[in-house]
């Protein structure tokens, strides 16, 4: 059974984040017939400054997804933004392992762990959401990676696979049955959010393919495609979503 939550799903005011308009939604990027219901939620994964151009852990072309993200945000009643929220000296940082460098893989108590540059440190400019992302007043925030000893790729569970972030309970309380997922990085946090939603939370999952970008480590994209297929995750472009309404 899942362990107790190490974080929580927060309102914008609880998280100290202001709503923002962002850039206009992309024209013609979304099927005009797409009409999500109250049983659908949009999960926007880690569209933070450190993962965007010039950030500490830049995901190539991450900002290219923002017009698609913003077009989707406008359509949903329920929108949750996950936020990587690491304390300084987090155990997933290569800087905390003598003789190691970013992208090395080590074994932690909970299994294999990729080491990263220091990034998304709590309260830093790099941890903030990118200014171009639309954040509505009723948007919610799910912070992850808060435990200094365990990383958290998934927005639902930490990398031990057991410790909940609180997101599963939140969507259950809303009566959500299906989640649409966008954000970065496709081959890490997006992948494991989708897999956990499908295999551990019993949700129907749609990954919006043009709303995500990968880090692209050796073999990571192929492994992600296999993992998503095995989990039964539906992958669709934003222009193909009308049939899912």
In 3D space, the residue among 54, 118, 131 whose CA is nearest the CA of residue 87 turns out to be 118
Cα–Cα distance, 127 to 38 (Å, whole number): 30
Q: Is the CB of residue 84 less than 8 Å from the CB of residue 145?
A: yes
- Per-residue exposure over 173-187, b if at least 16 CB sit within 10 Å of its own CB, e if not: eeebebbbbbbbbbb
Q: Is the CB of residue 122 less than 8 Å from the CB of residue 44?
A: no
DSSP code per residue over 79-118 = EEEEEE-BPTT-TTBGGGSTT--TT-EEEETTEEEE-B-S
- Per-residue exposure over 74-95, b if at least 16 CB sit within 10 Å of its own CB, e if not: ebbebbbbbbbbbeeebbbbbe
What ranges in 6-50 are assigned the alpha helix state H?
12-15
Q: Is the CB of residue 153 less than 8 Å from the CB of residue 159?
A: yes
Cα–Cα distance, 73 to 26 (Å, whole number): 12
Q: Is the CB of residue 74 less than 8 Å from the CB of residue 25?
A: yes
Catalytic residue positions?
Answer: 46, 144, 189
Q: Which helix (H) or strand (E) holds 9?
A: strand 9-11
């Amino acid at each position: 059974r899942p362990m107790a939550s190490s974080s929580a799903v927060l309102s914008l005011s609880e998280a100290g984040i202001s709503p923002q308009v962002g850039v206009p939604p992309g024209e013609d990027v979304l099927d005009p017939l797409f009409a999500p219901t109250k049983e659908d939620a949009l999960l926007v994964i880690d569209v933070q400054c450190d993962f965007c151009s010039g950030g500490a852990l830049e995901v190539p072309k991450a900002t290219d997804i923002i017009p698609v993200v913003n077009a989707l945000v406008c359509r949903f009643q329920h929108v949750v933004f996950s936020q990587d929220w690491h304390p300084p000296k987090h155990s997933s940082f290569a800087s905390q392992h003598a003789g190691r460098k970013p992208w090395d893989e080590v074994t932690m108590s909970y299994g294999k762990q990729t080491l990263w540059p220091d990034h998304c440190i709590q309260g830093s400019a790099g941890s903030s959401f990118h200014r171009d992302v639309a954040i509505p007043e009723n948007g919610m925030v799910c912070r992850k990676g808060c435990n200094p000893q365990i990383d958290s790729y998934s927005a639902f569970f930490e990398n031990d696979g057991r410790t909940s972030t609180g997101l599963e309970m939140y969507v259950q309380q809303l009566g959500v049955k299906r989640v649409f997922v966008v954000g970065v990085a496709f081959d890490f946090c997006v992948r494991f959010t989708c897999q956990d939603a499908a295999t551990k939370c019993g949700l129907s999952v749609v990954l919006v393919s043009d709303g995500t970008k990968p880090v692209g480590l050796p073999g990571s994209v192929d492994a992600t495609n296999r993992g998503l297929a095995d989990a039964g995750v539906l992958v669709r472009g934003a222009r193909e979503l009308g049939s899912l309404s």
